[in-house]
Structure formats: structure tokens, C-alpha cells
A and B are shown apart, each in its own frame.
Chain A
Amino acid sequence: MKNLLPTLCLLLCAAPAAAADDPLLAELLAKGPEALLVEADKRISNFQDQELTVEMSIFSGGKLEQKAKLTTFTKGSARIVRFDEPADVRGMGILIKARAIYVKIPGSPKVRRVAGHSRKQGMMGSDYAFDDTSMLALAEDYTAELAGQTDADVKLVLTRKPGSEMNYPKLEVLISKSDLVRHHTRFFDDDGKELKTETRTELRKNEKGHYTHGTVVMKDSQRDHHTENKVVAEKVDQGLEDRFFQQKTLLKNL
């Protein structure tokens, strides 16, 4: 009995307090699911430009198959992906701009344009298509519908807008009530079959109010295969100019 009180106290103190809902949640829900989606988009893409370095690990059958390290420069819809590892692809660059993809491989002083539909294809054997990496903001391409709530999350079903070129006709997302950030996404095909799921964890928030997940796992729902991206470094708002996102940048050793 003598020890019970301190123990209980310790347990109670150590127990995580239930995270409180974000103050904006009620207002956004009142406005409708679209507003919630716009806010969730904003929180993870709240930057003018971003330089994000991730370590990508590809697993097949639970076994690590391949590792890579890449840095993505983003401004608006333009992106440059630079491959840092493995050594054999160091210096390879990909420019994605206005639905066009340009590739430059090391050793070649030429930039090659690749057909736009390649954006829907897998990248380096990972579970990510080129387009998946740009799916930070969804409100532009999808309409949202409230599909339910739990104590922690709001579930939205997103339907692709007519004219959108996004890969997936339907998404199901979970937005955390405490920070209004999307942390779980299910991707479906035209037949309603689940293709893959993305889970984001280790949420961080910088001083500018921008949220980043430290780990993002994309899992193929059809086979035992998944890709884990761990953020190594992130820089935002460095003042990258529009002309940075040109073929010439690929030609330089990034």
C-alpha cells in the first residue's frame, strides 16, 4: 500500500494525455470535407520551395531488396529528383515539370525527355510512381466526402475530379483530428480494388508551421512488397528560382 500511491502517480503522470482536437477542426467540419482537405494539404505543403532528402528502402517478402538515397527539390508542381545513392546512379536527375519528364543519367551530357505516361510508372523498383511523390496537395484533383470519424481521425473518401490526370480514381484518407494532417491513405483502381496504402508517421512541425512526416511507408496491397522513406534532411523556402527547374539544372552536377 505504501508503494501503491507513488506507482499510481507515476503511471498516471507517464500516461500520454489524450491528444486534443485541433481548434480549427470543428469549424472546418462545419464548412465541409473539402475545407478540411484543403487545410490538411496546406499543413504538409506550406512552403514556397522544399529540398527533401530521404533514404528509400525497398522490401520484398519482408527482406530488404534495395536502398537508395535521393533528394527532391519542389516548387509548385515542378520537381527535380536527384539520386545520391547507390553509387551507380549518383548524379542521375529527373525533372518533372508541366506533365513532362526529363531524365539525365550520369556520364551522359544529354537530357532525355520521357513520355508523360511514365509518371504513372514505378520509380527505381519502389512502390512509388513518379506521380505519387507529388501527391501532397489533393484538393485540386479530388472532391472529398466525409466517410466517418473516430476519436482520433476523420475519414474522407476522395474522388478524382473530371480532367484530373492523377493515377487513382479514388482515395480514402485519414486526417488526424489533433493536427489536421493526413497520415494514412488507401489508393484504389477503377474497379474499386485497393492497390496500395501509405502510412505516414513521426510527424514533425517546423517553426514556419510546416508539417513533415519522418517516415512514410507505401505498401503494395497486391503483393508482399513495400517501400519505406525516411527523411534525412529537409530545407524549405530557400528561395529556389523558377529557372532552377530547367533541363540545364540536370546537366549540372546538382
Chain B
Amino acid sequence: MPAEFRARTTSLQAAATAVGALAVRAPWAVLVLSVFVTAALAPLAARVGYDDDVLGFLPDDEPEVERFRDIGRRFGGLSVGVIGVAATDGDLFTPERLCLLQRVTQGVRTVEGIEHSSSVTHLLDADVAQEGGEEITVVGMLIDELPCDDPQSIDAAAIRARVLSRDHVRGALISPRGDAALVLANVRPDVPVRPIAEEVRAMVDGWLPGVEGVRVYYGGAPFVGSYVAQVARDDILRLSPWISLAIIVIVLLTSRSVLGATIALGSVGMGIVWVLGMFTLVDEPLTLVSSSLPVLLIALGSAYSIHLLARILDNLDAGEVDRRRAVLDSMAHVGPPVLVAGLTTAAGFVSFQVMNIEPMRDFGLWMTVGTLVVVLLGMLVVPAAAVILPLRGRPGGRAPAWAVRAMAAAALAAARRPVWTFGLTAALVIACGVAIRVVPGGMDMRAFFAEDSEPVAAEAFLEARLGGSVFVQAQVAGDIKSPLVLLAIERLAAEACAMPGVTDVQSVAVPMLIGARALTGARRIPAAEASTRAIATLLDSEDPNIRLLVDAPWRHALLQIKVQAGSPDTPAALKAALEGRRERRLAAVSRGALNDVQRAAERRAVEGHVRAALRCAGRAGPQGLGDALAVRYTDVSPAGVGRLEARLEEALGEEDPLIALADPGALAALKPNVIRGLAARTLEPPALAEAIAAVAHPDELEDREALDTAAASLYASLRDIVEQDAVDRRLEAVAGLIGEPLPERDHLALRRALAVLDDPYAVVPAEAAGGASERADIEVAVTGFPLVYQRMNEAVQRNQVSSLALTAVLVITTLSIFFRSAVLGLVATIPAGLTLAVMFAVMGLLRIPMDVGSTMLASIAMGVGIDYAVHLAWRYGAEVNGTEVNGTEETGATRDEAVVRTLGATGWGIVINALEVSLGFGILAFGSLVPMKAVGLLTSTAMAVGAVTTLVLLPALLRWAWRITRKSALATAQPS
């Protein structure tokens, strides 16, 4: 080491110079070793894995992730792939298209990792038909297995009529016009989703050429995730050459040295290969965040080598002919700020260790390692290569004189008008503060993808025809076979359906209703617990789709709630509404024993249910509904009387009677009394049995027990008619309040809500029930991918705030130690702070959501701000205190001269780096994914703001700070 350098070094300079000296002394060894290590790590870097598990981004102690995983395991996965099969000519019900639908549903199940698939071709169904005047139940599949080897034998028109007549299917699995259908594919939990989605897609696409007039759309989390990964990969492959070219051209144009540009970018490239190779070495995959590491290292790391190289070229331009001396000078003067900037940036990333999100901690750790690696390589490879390669000086320097003049003029103008400067800065900070507040928190898929992208097109189609492909799940824990809990589930489903942004709700209540219709004839879940338990047990053994809605022990049920992708607030609103329900504990109180409080509580609950059912149907709840529900009917309408008479005729008449009468004419006398007693709710089963026994055939009296049982059965069916009559009249009252007749579908939902008012017991909140009553407790937990993403982003934001706070402390402390002045430490941090503020403000203005990606951008803003500030402040101190160039000591300059000289020496390096990265990354704006475009735009913004703040504002701040600190700080830190 030349004596003049050894004599005047500080410890940092000593370190930097020592590293430079090593490279100067053995440049070939350094280069060969670096290239060898790079070559060894390159194959490993190419093999680096990728982990697309977003759940890992939830904090370690986040209950949301445990809940999501628990519920997912219980129900075979909550990740629902949605395949929309659409007929381009408007009719899906042709034999070939139905066969395709059946094939897709069956085929998807064969893909490893798919737990279950369902569509209209694989649904259990129960219908009611008339046969010989008797109502009979027809149980079977909604569509019997299609004989696709003989398509002519398929009666597509009959299938169309049957499928579209099912309320619970129409609009949910088949579009109301019959031109599109859904196949739902549930992906098992804890399996990599992307390959499964890709396999399903390849399989289904392979079948399409055989069927004309069909288009397939892929939606839902698995397909969207797969699309993102694929498009991001394609974008990177497509745009990387252009980004590299742009960076190379900018560095070439600004440094005007091919070799210089090669050296600067080569060292960063080596650093990236090393870090990615290390990932594979320790068997660590890239994650959603750490996959941005190469981009970050280019943005941050290239600055280090460019500063070193710029100084080397400056020295050569100034007439230095010995490249070794030029290199050593560069290391002595630029090495310390490079080291400090690198260490400070690394310290910033160390602050990620306070986060409670493991992948973010890992990201911080790897960025720390990555930053140190590129600094080390910059300080070794750049000097070594500069010694070996024939770099030439350029008389007149590289920085255009006009550029230096412009920078100096701007900086001096800012410095000479402190009130304006600080006033404008303060205004900028306030404006940023306002803009930051409007940064969206939620995630709307349409904001994520371009308007013409596949997911947006698929979602638009699926939303228009079938309610969309985004699912939120609400788990109800309790004794699901209990009629009380089933009623609670029906009410929760109605409440969910009534919320804005919800397009469809499926729950176990739907198959239970189908089962009840099949086994009891009524369109409601039975009030008798024995019946609901039996229906549930039969469904469990017969319906393969049931496991998507209820677990095997029937202790947990799931509401599958479809929400519009364009309603990002709906999932959180659903969570608040459903989990916040007060009715956690329900009780059944005998209707005869109801007191006023209980009666009012029941009415409130029924009114809530009715209002929700009306809102679900797109109608506002009418005034006076509570009063309408309070009416107790003690008579039967003429229509009801007709139905009662018909039932009595059927049961006690002459043709195949349930109970034969001795004299068929006795029925005429029996009917009025029975109907009167039923209408007044005074007739009980034993009284009916007695009345019938009095006129029964002697054979019937031989087995009195059988007669009593048959009479009880008859009583139940007569009561059904009376209750249905009451429900009909209440429905009429509701329609009267609304002012228009209700369509059939709304009728059914309202009928179910109203029917409970005539049950033998009332369901009331347990606290209103008093002592002895049957009780059921429920717990509601809402989860789903939209909520997980939301919580993940919230957690990342929370963590980012704490991490940035710690970063600020660490950075200010490091810089204060470096500059030996708290004021200078603080001042040097201001460009980074402003860059961050402007970047978040731009996010707010452009409605770019705060998410995991913003962490990456914050890192860029912070790193860039620190790097530029350290270099400029360092040089400014050197200029003010007096320094030496090429061994010639100069006296301290005035502050204005110092500003001009500083900008002449380091300003151009900053400009080169800012231009290179911002233009290079600006190319990402041509990407397909909105977040990728945002990364491009925001990185460019961060680089530009970082550069402008440093070049214009920081000199003014340094002049001011210098006045306070005098020569106490930089004076001792600088080589003087």
C-alpha cells in the first residue's frame, strides 16, 4: 500500500483500502476465484425452488391461519377451483356438451391432490311426483349417468327442464339460462396447488377440440394462483432481456465505458448467482417475497459498484495513468461510504427479525446476506477487474458539464432559500401523509390483473352467469343434526345471502331440505330431532357431496359463500356479521309454555330471518312486519279446509283407507268437528283417535294400538295442512306489506323462515329460555382465501410499521456513529424517509394496495435513500474539511464550493444509478400483472425521488447541519 494512503486512514478507510489492496495485489486470483465460485453456484441457482404457500405469511401466532388450516383439513380443503363450461351459442344442454360436463367432473377427480369435484351431473336429487293420485318421492341423481357412447339416446331437453327447475342448483351450478355450468374442484389442504391446477387445465383443454361451441373458463384460488405464477414467469422471461439491455445501455451512455459497465453489472450479477445458489445449498425455496431478491439486489447492489467504478474512471479521466493507484484512491475515498451504505442497508434488513412472520424474517436475513455479498463482491471484483482490464481515461471526464451545473444550481437554490425549501418539503410530507391514508387495504382481483387478462375475463363471465368464483367459508360448530342448529344454519345462510357482494350461499340446510322433502314431503327441515337425525344419517351415506358441507361426525358444518370479486370488503363484513351474532346458544321452549319475553324473542329472530330472506331476494324489509308475524291464526282458510277434507277422505274413505270405517257415511259427520278442532288448535291426537275409533270398522278395533298409531299419523298430516295454511296466510300478509306478489323461489325461502312459528316449540336465545328446555350451542368461525390474504396483508403492514421503526433507529444510530454526529445521522436518513413517504403516497394515489409486495418496495426506497445520502454526505464532509486527490492535499472549501464539488464528484454516480435502475425497472410496466407494473412504476419512483432528494435537498440540509455540528463530526470521520 502506498505510504501516503497508509498514513491517513481511518479504521473504515483502513478496511476498505485493505480489501482494495488485496484485489490490486492479486487481481487474477480474486477474479478467478470469484468466477469459479459463481460457476459452481450457477447450476444450484438455476435449481432454486419456489414455495407458493401464502399461509406461511400469516404471523406465527395468527389464529386465522390455524383456523383456515383446521377447517381446510376438516372439509378436505378450502381451495376451490372453479371450471366454467359455457356454450357459445347459448345452450349447454346438448348431448355432447352434457357429456363433456360429466367427463370433466369425473376426470378432475382422478387428478392427484383433488379431494372432490361436483357439478350438476353428479348431484343427488329428490323430487315429488304424482302416481295414481298419490304423492310419491323420487330419489336419484339429478342427471343419471349419461350414455355418452350413444349420445342420441340422451334426452337433453328433459334434462334441461329437470335441472333448471331446481332452485338450489339454478344460478349456483347452472346459469339461469342454461348456457353455462360450473364444475367445482376442491384441492386437498397442504398440497402444492400450482401443478394440480396445471394438470386439470391441461386435461380439460385436451378434451375441448372434440366438442364444438364450448368455451371453458378457469377461476378460483388454485387457477388464479397458477395463472399468476405462469404469467409472472413469462413476463420475467420476456422482459428480462429488455431490462438488462436498458440497464447496460444507460450505464454505457453515462459511464461511456463498455468495460466499466461490464465490470459494474458483472459484479452484481455474480452476487445474485451466489445468493440464489446459497438458497439451494441450504435447501431453502424462494417465497412470494424472497423471489424479488434478484430484482432488489440489482436495484440496490449496482449502486455500490457504480460508485466505486465512477471514482476509478474519474481518477483515470483526471490523468492518472496507473490503474492500481486509481483503484486504491477509489477504495480509500468511496470504499468507506460503500461499506457504510451496505452495512446500514443490511442493518435495515436485520430489523425484519422483529417480525412475527417467518418468511419475512427469512427474507430479511437473506437480504442482509445478499447486501453484504454484493458489497463484498463490489469491493473485490470491481477493483480486481479494473486493474486487469484496460480501462482508459477520458479527458474532460464523464459527467456532462451541463448536468453538473444543473445539479449544483438546483442544490444551491434550495440551500439559499431555506424557508421555501423546508416549506415545500413540509408540504410534500403532509401531502404524502394524506395520500398514504387512501392506500387501499383490501384486494380486488380486478385491480390485480389487466382488464383483458384471463382471470378477469373468467371472473367477469362467472360472476355474470354463476355468481363468481371467490369463496368465503363460515364454519358452524355444534350438534349439526339438531333441528335447532340446522335452523341456526338456515338463518346464518340467509343473513350471509342478504349481504352486499354475496351471490350464493350453500349449506347443509340445502341437502337436508331435499332429504326432508323426500322423506316427509314437507319443504322444510323437520322440527322433530329424531327426524333430522335420521335424514342426516341417510344423507351422509347416500350423498357424496355432503362431506363438502359437513364433517363426518356432524359436529361442524360449512357455509360455502360465493362473493363478488369486485367487493373486497365483503369477506370482512361477513366475518363481522356472522361471528358477531349474539345467538350463540339456542333453546327450544314448548309453544304452550311460552311467556311474553320468549314470544317476543322468537318473533324477533323470525323477523330477522324473514328480512334477511327478503334482502337476499333483493327486496327491502317492509314496515309492520313484526305485527304481521305476531298474528296467531285460529281458523283455516277455505283452501285449507278443502285440503283437510281431501286428506280425511283419502285416509278414512272407501278406497284403500288408512283406517276403515264401519259406515263410510260416518265420515261426513266426523269431518266438521275434526276440522274445527284442528283450526282452533284444540284437537289433540288421542281425541282424534277416540273420534275415529267410535266409527271404525270392527277389524280396526282388534288392534287398537295400530289404530291409535294410524290416527296419530293422520293427525300429523292434518296438522301439516293447518300449519301450511297459516304459513300461506302469513306469506300473503308479507306480500301485502311489500305491495307485490312474490315469485316462487322467494316463497320457498320465506315459507321456511315462517314455518317455525307453528312448530310445537319455539326457538329462542338460551338466556331467554329459563330452566328446563332443550338447548344447542353453536360457534361460528368465518375463514377463506380472501380473508387469509387480507389478514396476511394486515399482518405484513403491521410488521412493516414495526420493522420500519426499528430500521429508522438502526439506520440513524449507524449513521450517527459513522458521522460521529446524531444530527448528521438524522439528516442523512431524511432522503430515505422522504423516498418512502413519496412511494407510499404514489401507491395511495394509484390505488395500489398495501401488500407483501410493498415490503419489497419499501426496502428499495430505504436502501436507495441511504446509499445516495451516505455517498453525498461523505463527499461533502471531505470537501468542507479539505481532502486530497491523487495525493495532493487541498484546503477546505466554502460551503457553496463544497456543494458544487460534491455534486461534481458523486452526483453523476447517483444519476447513473438512478437512471439505470428506474429506466430498467420502468420496463416492468409492460408486464401483464398489475403488481408487476406497480413494482416497475414504484421502483422508478423510488429511484427518482431518492436521487432528487439527495441531490437537491440533502446539500441544503448538510449546510444547515454543518452549521450546528461545526467540524466535530465529519472532520474526524474524513481523511483530513
- Which residues of A are at the interface with B, using a C-beta cutoff of 8 A? 58, 66, 86-89, 91-92, 103, 105-115, 117-118, 121-122, 124-126, 247-249, 251-252
Contact = CB atoms under 8 A, between A and B. Distances in A.
A112 B521 contact: yes
Contacts of B532: 107
Given A88-B481, A106-B530, A112 B709 contact: no
B139 A106 contact: no
B134 interface: yes
Contact of A248 (B129, B518, B541, B709): B709
A251 B713 contact: yes
Given A105-B531, A247-B658, A112 B713 contact: no
A126 B710 CA distance: 31
B138 interface: yes
Nearest to A247: B658
B774 to A, nearest CB: 14
Contacts of B541: 58, 66, 124-126
Given A89-B537, A92-B534, A117-B140, A109 B712 contact: yes
Contacts of B34: none
B569 to A, nearest CB: 41
B129 A110 contact: no
Which 6 interchain pairs have the tightest Cβ spacing? A107-B530, A125-B541, A107-B528, A107-B531, A88-B533, A109-B716
A106 B135 CA distance: 20
A103 B137 CA distance: 10
Given A88-B481, A107-B534, A252-B706, A121 B139 contact: yes
Contacts of A252: 705-706, 709
Contacts of B138: 114-115, 117-118
A107 B134 CA distance: 22
B137 A113 contact: yes
A91 B542 CA distance: 19
Given A105-B520, A115-B136, 18 more contacts: A87-B533, A88-B537, A89-B534, A91-B534, A106-B530, A108-B531, A110-B717, A111-B713, A113-B131, A113-B135, A115-B131, A117-B140, A118-B140, A124-B542, A125-B542, A126-B541, A248-B706, A252-B706
B715 interface: yes
Interface in B745-766: none
A156 B971 CA distance: 110
A106 B538 CA distance: 12
B519 interface: yes
B536 interface: yes
22 contacts: A88-B481, A88-B537, A103-B137, A105-B535, A106-B534, A107-B531, A107-B534, A108-B531, A109-B709, A110-B520, A110-B521, A110-B716, A113-B131, A114-B137, A115-B129, A115-B136, A118-B138, A118-B140, A124-B542, A125-B541, A126-B541, A248-B709
A173 to B, nearest CB: 27
A108 B528 contact: yes
B531 A114 contact: no
Nearest to B717: A110
A109 B527 CA distance: 12
B123 to A, nearest CB: 14
A125 B539 CA distance: 9
Contacts of A118: 138-140
Nearest to B712: A109
Given A112-B518, A114-B136, A122-B542, A88 B716 contact: no
Interface of B: 129, 131, 134-140, 481, 518-521, 526, 528-538, 540-542, 658, 705-706, 709-710, 712-713, 715-717
B546 to A, nearest CB: 11
A247 B540 CA distance: 26
A112 B713 CA distance: 11
Nearest to B138: A115
A108 to B, nearest CB: 5
B137 A112 contact: yes
Nearest to A118: B139
A107 B529 contact: yes
Contacts of A115: 129, 131, 136-139
Contacts of B529: 107
B442 to A, nearest CB: 42
A92 B531 CA distance: 9
A69 B531 CA distance: 18
A254 to B, nearest CB: 11
Contacts of B536: 88
A115 B518 CA distance: 10
Contacts of B140: 117-118, 121
Nearest to A102: B136
Nearest to B144: A117
Nearest to B134: A113
A161 B449 CA distance: 64
Contacts of A247: 658
A108 B519 contact: yes
B534 A112 contact: no
Contact of B534 (A66, A105, A125): A105
B486 to A, nearest CB: 13
B709 A88 contact: no
A231 B253 CA distance: 92
A91 to B, nearest CB: 7
Residue of A87, A108, A111, A115 most packed against chain B (CB within 10 A): A108
Contact of A103 (B135, B519, B526): B519
A248 B711 CA distance: 10
Nearest to A87: B533
Nearest to A120: B140
Nearest to B529: A107
A249 B658 CA distance: 11
B710 A251 contact: yes
B658 A108 contact: no
Query: Which of A109, A114, A126 has the most B CB atoms < 10 Å from its CB?
Result: A109
A91 B529 CA distance: 13
Nearest to B127: A115
B716 A107 contact: no
A134 B624 CA distance: 59
A216 to B, nearest CB: 19
B136 A113 contact: yes
Contacts of A249: 706
Nearest to A83: B534
Contacts of A91: 530, 534
A89 B542 CA distance: 14
Contacts of A114: 136-139, 518
A253 to B, nearest CB: 8
A121 B134 CA distance: 22
Contacts of B538: 89, 105, 124
A113 B650 CA distance: 15
A124 B713 CA distance: 25
A107 B537 CA distance: 14
A40 B568 CA distance: 70
A252 B140 CA distance: 28
Interface centre among B481, B540, B715 (most CB of A within 10 A): B540
B652 to A, nearest CB: 13
Contacts of A122: 542
Contacts of A125: 540-542
A108 B716 contact: yes
Given A88-B534, A114-B136, A121-B140, A248 B658 contact: yes
Nearest to B543: A125
A4 B776 CA distance: 73
A232 B81 CA distance: 47
A114 B131 CA distance: 10
Contacts of B542: 122, 124-125
A244 to B, nearest CB: 10
Nearest to A124: B541
Contacts of A106: 530-531, 533-534
A86 B537 contact: yes
A226 to B, nearest CB: 15
Contact of B519 (A58, A105, A248): A105
B139 A112 contact: no
A252 B129 CA distance: 26
